Amino acid sequence: MSITIQSSSFRQFFTQKLLAAAMVSLLTGFIAVAPAYAQEKPMSTTNQQAALPRVLLLATGGTIAGSADNRGSGAYNSGAIGAQQLVSSVAGLGDLASLSAEQIASIGSQDMSDDIWRKLASRIQKAFDQGEADAVVITHGTDTMEETAFFLSLVLKTDKPVVLVGSMRPATALGADGPANIYEAVQVAVDKESKGRGVMVVMNDQIDSARGVTKTHSTSVQTMQSPNLGSEGYVDLGHVRFVKPAAQGQFLKLPEAPLPRVEIIYSHSNMDALQIEHAMADKAKGIVLAGMGDGNTSKAALAALEKAAAQGIVVVRSTRVSKGYVNRNVEVDDSKSGFIASMDLNPQKARVLTQLLIANGVTDPQKVQEAFLNGH
Ligand code: GLU
């Protein structure tokens, strides 16, 4: 029997860490590739389920529903495993909640769109308004999970918990993290302390707020972190422990898709005004600067941004740095230029808030700035 070793970093990781375990499996004849969700566990009986909290699971795809054709492979198809299979095959899930599952999309979250956001938001609001569910869990790719979580946190009107969950390894990988993450997401969703906390992300034993969370590592299972705000809590050997009080969010009406065009412009050395001029020519309604440091950029880019703000384009200064606030009027005179400082929000989240504000008719820089300060 021969073992082919591929040269991806994912492959190397598992080769180094887990070769011994894989060898034992292979030598004992376990050569079939069995996804982590394959062993379907029976759900609780109907009587038990009647007393359990009702959780609606909405599946959108991502690695958590990914499948590879061999266990050590770094290559896989996002969204190959359906919502029903995700729910019915995580051991013990049926003892935590009475679950129903629906497929909203089957995508890698790099393809997340305004249409799917609207679909998700409308379905969740309906489920809560019509008393169909006590909590919602959304399975989602990690690439844009923070944007979907933040979007939903702004447009949902509810005190019921909404938990986004993903994984970094596909279901077919050795050490797949999806099943444990789904279990913990449901644990958090049904915990009585979760009420009033809005939209959360649960991954790898950690609970993070929609506002605070961001993807910080391209491959590690400990990727979702809240660099500026810190985590909301932890799932500690079956115990849900919140370490922060619930924060007050803000509500913006769910607009029609597509959302207003808001561009993110990434700042770099030797920066000219071209990208900003293109955004203006493309009729962007807003520009978010992923600035250097405290939201800085070159003189040429700043002059172009001032022109954009003078034309009524909403200009927000955020930062390409992974941690820290962008404050008003430090090296840039925001008051004079009509700019908004993004505070704790990274460029991709600043974009979501700017889109929703513009769609709700809020474009005055002072009002936009107030919204950026609201809820952090
Ligand atoms: N790019 C895929 C996605 O975001 C996979 C990443 C993941 O789920 O962790 O859906």
Collapsing DSSP to helix, strand or coil, 11 comes out as helix
Residue 189: partners with Cβ closer than 8 Å, 6 or more residues away: 53, 55, 97, 135, 136, 137, 161, 162, 163
CA distances from 274 to 88, 265, 280, 286 (A): 52, 10, 10, 16
Which residue has better confidence, 369 or 11?
369
Nearest CA to ligand 1 atom 8: 141
CA of 218 from ligand 1 middle (Å) equals 10
* Residue 224: pLDDT over 90: yes
| Residue located nearest, by CA, to atom 2 of ligand 1 | 108
Q: What gap in Å lies between CA 209 and CA 220, rounded to an integer?
A: 20
Q: Who wins on pLDDT, 19 or 159?
A: 159
- What pLDDT, on the 0 to 100 scale, is given for residue 67? 66
- Tell how far the Cα of 339 is from the centroid of ligand 1, in angstroms: 33
CA of 301 to the centre of ligand 1 (A): 33
Q: How far apart are CA 337 and CA 334, in angstroms?
A: 5
Pocket test for ligand 1, best of 60, 63, 116, 182 (most atoms within 8 A of CB): 63
pLDDT given for residue 51 in this prediction:
87
Average pLDDT on 33-39 reads: 56
Q: Are the C-beta atoms of residues 225 and 346 closer than 8 Å to each other?
A: no
Q: In the prediction, which pLDDT does 37 show?
A: 67
Instruction: Give the per-residue pLDDT at 74.
Output: 63
List the Cα angle 184/190/194 in 5-degree steps: 95
Give mean pLDDT, residues 117-124.
98
53-81: pLDDT as tens digits: 999 999 999 988 876 666 665 666 666 78
| Average confidence (pLDDT) over 82-95 | 87
Average pLDDT over residues 166-172: 90
User: What mean pLDDT is predicted for residues 148-154?
Assistant: 98
Q: Average pLDDT in the 48-52 region?
A: 72
Our answer on whether the CB atom of 94 is closer than 6 Å to any ligand 1 atom is no
Residue 63 confidence (pLDDT): 85
Q: What is the pLDDT of residue 171?
A: 81
> Is the confidence at residue 213, as pLDDT, over 60?
yes
| pLDDT category of residue 172 using cuts at 50, 70 and 90 | confident
What proportion of the chain, given as a percentage, has pLDDT over 90?
A: 75
- Ligand 1 centroid to Cα of residue 170, in Å, is 9
Positions marked catalytic: 63, 142
* d(C-alpha 229, C-alpha 227), whole Å: 6
225-258 per-position pLDDT tens digit: 999 999 999 999 889 999 999 988 899 999 998 9
| Whole-number pLDDT of residue 73 | 59
Q: What is the pLDDT of residue 367?
A: 98
Q: With 80 as the cut, is the pLDDT of residue 34 above it?
A: no
Q: What is the mean pLDDT of the chain?
A: 87
